[in-house]
Amino acid sequence: MTTMSNTDFVKRRTAFSTLLTVLSAMASRPSGLVGLILVAFHIVLAIVSPVIAPYDFRELSAQIILNEPSSEHWFGTDNLGRDVFTRTMLGGRQALLVTTISTILAITWGGLLGVLLGLVGGRLDELLMRLVDAFLCLPWILVLLLIVVMVGPGPAVLIPTLGFFYGIPVIRMARAATHDVVALDFVTAARARGETRSTIVRRELLPNVLDVLLVEGAMRWSWMLLAFSSLSFLGFGVAPPTPDWGLMISDARSFMSLAPWAALAPVAALSSLIIGINLTADGLAKALGIDRAQKAPV
């Protein structure tokens, strides 16, 4: 194969201009616009929150335990007298960081393997797909708990674990999308030309399943956020002084009747992010012309 520099004249549509087109198509629908705004808001907040947070998230105060929302503490205080507003602002950082990296991992390995299986077919495909079926039968949260208990918590464990498990349904998705493309004549043409398998995957198949993978990735991302928050809720995600929505909900649960704000704030934050991601995924699917009703994953 010749190198990329030889294809200079082949004017690539720049990734940036494509991104702009897709984004503007998404923003043209109200639901897509709302989704994009929510996701962007959360990402920006996660980046700037350490700078703009009004209080220190560790600051305890015995005088202001379970205080109602006030002008000083917008979302009130929790059972240890910490500012709920500050903690809610900061509580998505870990979750976003871990799930974003895990999503990219899951889409990459699951997508590549799925496309390859879709192209090659045969016995390897048959065998691996049965394995995928078997994996999909497992109760995930239990498996995740088991791993965390055995290996220990923390992002270093959670990122690869989530990335691995959430890549499995992606395999199936990518394989199905590839099957639709492989039947088309341009793939036959590439085979008849004598292109290598890796070229066929890279040039002919991947560009045509990429949009399906992107939408799938957005969906997986929201699932992963829920899983991560569930782990935190159960005490296996983020270690205590670090603020995290799952953990905050868990802590505030016992005082729900006394101080509902301490639980409501992280719940609202988490739901708004997940709704935002789902709306984005929907908008993305529509902007890319994929009918999610038909191609709904497992």
Partner 1 sequence: MREPLVQVTNLGIGFTSRVGVTMPILRNINLAIGEGETIGLVGESGCGKSTLALAMMGYLKSGLSVLEGESLFRGRNVFDMDKRALEGIRGGELALIPQNAGQSLTPTSRIGRQIDESVKLHTSLAKEQRHERVIELLLQVRLPQPEELLKRYPHELSGGQQQRAAIAMALAGEPDVLLLDEPTTGLDVTTQAHILELLRNLAAETGTAMVYVSHDLGAIARVSDRIAVMYAGELVLEGPARQVLKQPVHPYARGLLLSIPRLKEAVVPASMPGRPPLPGGAGQGCGFADRCPMVEQRCRDKRPTLEPTATQEFVRCHFHERVEQLPSPEPPKRPDRSSQDEMDSILQFNDVAISYAKPGIVDQILGRQPNVTPTIDKIDLTIRRGETFGLVGESGSGKSTILRAIAGLWPPQSGTITYEEAESLNTSVEERSNDLLRCIQLIFQNPDASLNPRHTVAEIVAQPLKLYFGLGGDELRERSVALLEQVRLRADYLERLPSQLSGGEKQRVAVARAFAAEPKLVLCDEVTSALDVSVQAAVLNLLIQLQVDQGTTYVFVSHDLAVVRALADRVAVLYQGRLCEIGPSENVYRFPSHPYTEVLLGAVLEPDPDAEPTLTAEDVADLFPPARGCPFQRRCPRNIGDICNNETPPWRPAEFGHAIRCHIPLDELRSLQ
Nearest distance, CB of residue 200 and partner 1, angstroms: 11
Nearest distance, CB of residue 285 and partner 1, angstroms: 18
Nearest distance, CB of residue 8 and partner 1, angstroms: 7
Nearer to partner 1, 14 or 257 (CB): 14
Cβ atoms < 10 Å from Cβ of 135: 15
Note the residues at the interface with partner 1 (CB under 8 A): 1-3, 5-11, 13, 184-186, 188-195, 203-204, 207-208
Residue carrying structure tokens 């999610």: 292
Nearest distance, CB of residue 294 and partner 1, angstroms: 17
Distance, in Å, from the CA atom of 189 to the CA atom of 133, rounded to the nearest integer, reads 33
Nearer to partner 1, 61 or 188 (CB): 188
55: left (phi over 0), alpha (psi -120 to 50) or beta: beta
Cβ atoms < 10 Å from Cβ of 186: 12
Burial 100-129 (b: 16+ CB within 10 A, else e): bbbbebbbebbbbbbbbbbbeeeeebeebe
- In this structure, which amino acid lies at residue 290? I
Nearer to partner 1, 11 or 257 (CB): 11
Residue 214: CA count within 13 A, CB half-sphere = 19
Distance, in Å, from the CA atom of 182 to the CA atom of 271, rounded to the nearest integer, reads 39
Nearer to partner 1, 143 or 184 (CB): 184
Distance, in Å, from the CA atom of 36 to the CA atom of 128, rounded to the nearest integer, reads 36
Nearer to partner 1, 9 or 139 (CB): 9
Helices (runs of H) and strands (runs of E) counted in the chain: 12, 0
Name the 3-class secondary structure at 7: helix
Distance, in Å, from the CA atom of 22 to the CA atom of 143, rounded to the nearest integer, reads 37
Nearest distance, CB of residue 16 and partner 1, angstroms: 17
Nearest distance, CB of residue 187 and partner 1, angstroms: 8
Distance, in Å, from the CA atom of 161 to the CA atom of 269, rounded to the nearest integer, reads 25
Nearer to partner 1, 13 or 139 (CB): 13
Residue 164: CA count within 13 A, CB half-sphere = 10
- State both tokens at 65: 């335990």
Nearest distance, CB of residue 155 and partner 1, angstroms: 36
Nearer to partner 1, 39 or 181 (CB): 181
Nearest distance, CB of residue 122 and partner 1, angstroms: 11
Task: Give 187-235 as a 3 state SS string.
Answer: HHHHHHHCCCHHHHHHHHHHHHHHHHHHHHHHHHHHHHHHHHHHHHHCC
Nearer to partner 1, 142 or 183 (CB): 183
